[in-house]
Amino acid sequence: MKLYDCSRRLNPQMPVFPGNKPPVLKWLRNMKDGGKNNLSALELGSHTGTHADAPFHFIAEGKTLDDLPLDTFVGPCRVAALLDVPVVTQAALETLRPRNGEILLLKTKNSLEEQLRPFHADYVGLDIGAGRYLARCGVKTIGVDYLSVEDQSPDVVHQAILGAGIGILEGLYLKDVPEGDYFLCAAPLKVDGAEGAPCRAILVDFQA
Ligand SMILES: [Zn+2]
């Protein structure tokens, strides 16, 4: 069995999507200052690093994360590569033949950055045609390897995907993961009423 850690590191220097609060580990108690133990509090935006989006992120009456079935982010999945596209379009997705009910993780050139650069707008994301196509295919969950699923479209891709009830994983890191079938464990924190939450994304290859 081989495990792949597909999560980005959380630290104050990491890039975040504009508007999202970067992570801070605040020390409430510190042994080097005489405290009886080390005790911290973590502050961060809900869409920091590797994380899940629930429909409520863009759909006013949509489900929150605690309302989504656990198998939205845990279960059999497929990693498919689109390493040479600047934008994920319907035509690019058609080559992968997305399947009804599957968890599909897209490996693009975003994953080639071992350390994400400061936020940049030239990341690879899905355009609106790709978002609507995924909804028609009926995939259960789509995973992407940058901090947003969509290209520079103003929110319509999130709306198309989340409006179809599809779960989203963002900020995956897939550089070392070959294309193929895996078991995904990427359950987000069980935060009541949340529209998003960080997760530790792990892929399991039981055949290795
Ligand atoms: Zn998000």
Non-local CB neighbours of 79 within 8 Å, separated by 6+ positions: 105, 107, 174, 177, 178, 179, 180, 181, 182, 203
**Token output for 116:** 């994400």
Per-residue model confidence (pLDDT) at position 97: 97
* Candidate list 47, 57, 120, 158, residue with the active-site label: 57
Count up the domains in the chain and report the number. 1
Q: How far is the CA of 180 from the centre of ligand 1 (A)?
A: 25
What would the pLDDT profile of 130-166 be if each residue is shown by its tens digit?
999 999 999 999 999 999 898 877 789 999 999 999 9
> Does 158 participate in catalysis according to the annotation?
no
> Is residue 14, in this structure, part of any structural domain at all?
no
What is the pLDDT averaged over residues 104-121?
91
pLDDT number for residue 8 = 95
The pLDDT of residue 101: 98
Give residue 110's domain range.
Answer: 2-8+46-205
Q: How many of the other CB atoms lie within 10 Å of CB of 99?
A: 13
User: Is 37 within the bounds of a domain?
Assistant: no
- Categorize the per-residue pLDDT at 79 as very low, low, confident or very high, splitting at 50, 70 and 90: very high
What pairs with residue 157 in β-bridges? none
Q: How far is CA 76 from the centre of its chain?
A: 16
Nearest-CA neighbor of 126 among 181, 89, 176, 174? 89
Q: What is the pLDDT of residue 108?
A: 97
| Rounded Cα distance, 105 and 7, in Å | 13
**Distance (Å) from CA 196 to ligand 1 centroid:** 6
Residue 118 above 90 pLDDT?
no
For 75, the 3-state DSSP assignment is strand
Q: How would you classify the pairing of strands 141-143 and 39-43? A: unpaired
Pairing of strands 180-185, 39-43: unpaired
Write out pLDDT tens, residues 189-199: 999 999 999 99
- Residue 97 counted as domain residue: yes
Q: Kindly state the average pLDDT of the residues 10-15.
A: 92
Q: How far is the CA of 183 from the centre of ligand 1 (A)?
A: 22
Averaged confidence pLDDT in the chain: 95
End-to-end CA distance of the chain: 5
| Residue 41 in domain | no
In a domain, 13, yes or no: no
CATH number of the domain bearing residue 129: 3.50.30.50
